[in-house]
Amino acid sequence: MQELVKIIECRRTMGHMVLPVFYGVDPSEVRHQTGDVGNVFRKLLNNYDENEYEAIEWKNALVEVGGIAGFVVLNHRNESEDIKDIVEKVTHLLDKTDLFVADNPVGVESRVLDIIQLLDTPLSNDVLILGMWGMGGIGKTTIAKAIYNKVGRDFEARSFLANIREVWEQEAGQMYLQEHLIYDIFKETTTKIQNIESGKSILKERLCHKRVLLVLDDVNKLDQLKALCGSRTWFGSGSRIIITTRDKHIIRGNRVNQVYNIKEMDERESIELFSWHAFKQASPTKDFAESSRNIVKYSGGLPLALEVLGSYLFDREVFEWKCVLEKLKRIPNDEVHKKLKISYDGLNDDTEKEIFLDIACFFIGMDRNDVIHILNGCGFFAEIGISILVERSLVTVDDKNKLGMHDLLRDMGREIIREKSPKELEKRCRLWFNEDVLDVLSEQTGTQAVEGVVLKLTPNAKCFSTKAFENMKKLRLLQLAGVQLDGDFKYLSRNLRWLCWNGFPLTCIPTKFDQGKLVSIELENSNIKLVWKEMQMMENLKILNLSHSRYLTKTPDFSNLPNLEKLVLKDCPRLSEISHTIGHLHKILMINLKDCISLRNLPRTIYTLKSLKTLILSGCLIVDELEEDLEQMESLTILLADNTAITKVPFSLLRSKTIGYISLCGYNGYSREVFPSIIRSWISPTNNLSSLVQTPAGMSSLVSLDASKSSSHSLSSISDVLTKVQSLLVECGSELQLSRDAILDALSATNSKELESIATTSQESAVKTSTLIECCGQVHISATKKSQKSLLIQMGTNCKAADILKESILQIGGYYCFYC
């Protein structure tokens, strides 16, 4: 500030003080300036007297000032204060220090505009904080720099604090960041911060007077936010704070106003960015077009990888490109690997790292809940662990609850395992590459270090001895496909939690195989006829999947599976018998029997499963009935039974308070949408009401009759069954419809001493509260007269009055009634 004051020349002209600025301007250049300031400069030079203007100092560095208008201060009284005020304004105008963004900023502009739109809210005078979240190398910092350059001069001051994660860990790095922020905003170097707490106080006291743009780049700890932007009250009105991070937890809740999730580049953007680095042009040359597409596919839209690999392949021959691609399948690029590994190294503890490595090697594409069961069985606290991996941009969960991971993150995780034992395969904790697994199993060199193995081959491609697993005492995860094992299964690890064996070749699970710790058994496309000859108590088993087992004729005895939660027997074409012990599964959540075409009926015990949430019977072609006991399934949320022989909807289903989605008898959708259609179908002209409205003894029903949509014939034809109906709701559009002979004739069928009638005849949707009370009172009085029937006639649109009356009717005598 003091240096700038020295280079201000004050000259009084016509009673005003004109303050032109000579900052970094060579006198020889001033004559060539344009604009107001240039005019003043030239005037001063023409009258320049070295003795009179000793305050003028010249500096060698040139700066563009020609387009800046001069400042005129009227009625000045304190020349020193005026000068300081002008200095601040000029300093802001002369702040030309844009940040370098990128040589080839492909795709940056569109993302910058999206974020600026979020920053430019109607509440422009409020302090707004925006979080930018994404995996390492996705371009968060690049985009943040571009935003800083584009809108930074719209604020009184601006600051870009880069690489906060790295600087924070350095000695005195925390205070350095606070001092750097003060320097950027106030252009002074005299403030020295002794400790982080005093720095917070200084920032809070001084920042609140300025409208600033602050970018906090690569934040990975909440303490960093607390030290640099403790709250919105620290900043002046209209300030904007941008936070870039790999960890979504940092920007959760009310810590920020908006979160922008940085997505990978699309194919067009990826090709262009890669080409600029590999060919120094916007598209690949003809000879390298296919290889370029392969590299782009491998990079998965990650700008870091596209730039690094493009630069690495620049000016190399085609055969070198192919060699690089083959190497990348086994060993990732070191520069990309190190950048991505930062997120892995930043995980809180070993369990989070183990979960990440397990997902990278085994669980990509699997159901999140299934993986949680398996990993919890390994003692990994998977619920919170996976949530943290998602927050850190290391794992994704899609809308179908499937786990995902960027290919480069997957390769980074696998490289962490490989580099610990690059030459001795048997000492790696996880084996996933087919050639490596074939080597270890063929040579029987497995050791206690091995915790997981995956080997997927074409059907019956290889047969190994079970002794190959003898020394893998810590094996937790085993995934096989197209593999046969010969020998005694006692050699398989007792610590197995997950057995996934597609094409299991045996007709039953061997008795000597210790399954006590298994959490999930998945034997799809197996040759199993009988699951177990001798059952073991399997208290840890949560998932049993025998789908597509074409020889399976009956389910196992479920008595020894007390904690089973998921039973999947999809497409078992010969399955005809479900054990009655299925009723012992008191913790079961899902049963999937889809396309079991030989299954005729369900055991009655299945209806006692109070924990069951999802029941799938779709494609069970000869299952023809669902029992009224269905209502005992008090947790049932999803029922899928389309493409079966079932023709009647159980009345008890409509009494369910939990059912959410139904696919049954041609009705598909949410219950609130399907139930009215089901009830209407019961009284449609094409149906026999007496056969469709079936209520068990002691139950009662409310039938909804939409008179406005019913023909005279259909109305008269149901009069013979109205005496069987406990409660009747007639919906009419007008009194004229009610007077139709057919409706009156139908109603007269119920004209007995047992019928107590309450009618609403208003066509208006709004009914006075007093009328509601009076009507409801009459209904309740009727309940004391041994009445067994109720009649509610509703005309006009549905209204609150009708709803209250319906509810009152339903409450009489504990009726269980449904209406639409």
Active site residues: 3
**CA distance from start to end of the chain:** 77
Strands ordered across the beta sheet of 72-73: 11-13, 16-18, 72-73
- Is residue 633 within 8 Å of residue 657, measured between CB atoms? no
Residue written as tokens 């710790």? 517
**Rounded to an integer, what distance in angstroms lies between the CA atom of residue 716 and that of residue 248?**
65
**Rounded to an integer, what distance in angstroms lies between the CA atom of residue 772 and that of residue 762?**
12
Residue written as tokens 């069928």? 749
Residue written as tokens 């909807």? 649
- Dig out the tokens for 754 from the structure: 């047992």
Residue type, 588: I
CB burial of residue 590 (10 Å; 0-12, 13-18, 19+): middle
Q: Please give the DSSP secondary-structure letter assigned to residue 645.
A: S
585-to-209, 540, 555, 576, 609 alpha-carbon distances in Å:
66, 13, 13, 19, 7
**Rounded to an integer, what distance in angstroms lies between the CA atom of residue 672 and that of residue 269?**
45
At residue 473, the 3 state secondary structure works out as coil
Q: What are residue 158's DSSP bridge partners?
A: 213
Residue written as tokens 């934040």? 219
**Rounded to an integer, what distance in angstroms lies between the CA atom of residue 583 and that of residue 725?**
35
At residue 705, the 3 state secondary structure works out as strand
Q: Does an H or E element contain 109, and which?
A: helix 108-119
Residue type, 776: C
- Is residue 477 within 8 Å of residue 497, measured between CB atoms? yes
Q: Mind giving me the DSSP string for 364-410?
A: TTSBHHHHHHHHHHTT--HHHHHHHHHHTTS-EE-TTSBEE--HHHH
**Rounded to an integer, what distance in angstroms lies between the CA atom of residue 313 and that of residue 319?**
11
Q: What are residue 667's DSSP bridge partners?
A: 664
Q: What are residue 258's DSSP bridge partners?
A: 130
- Is residue 733 within 8 Å of residue 795, measured between CB atoms? yes
**Rounded to an integer, what distance in angstroms lies between the CA atom of residue 224 and that of residue 228?**
6
431-to-13, 326, 361, 472 alpha-carbon distances in Å:
85, 19, 8, 12
- Is residue 217 within 8 Å of residue 161, measured between CB atoms? yes
Q: Mind giving me the DSSP string for 511-559?
A: TTS--TT-SEEE-TT---SSSBSS----TT--EEE-TT-TT--BPPP-T
- Dig out the tokens for 337 from the structure: 């690997």
Residues 6+ apart with CB under 8 A from 254: none
Name the pairing type of β-strands 258-261 and 128-133.
Answer: parallel
- Dig out the tokens for 260 from the structure: 């922008």
- Rounded to whole angstroms, the maximal C-alpha distance in the chain is 122
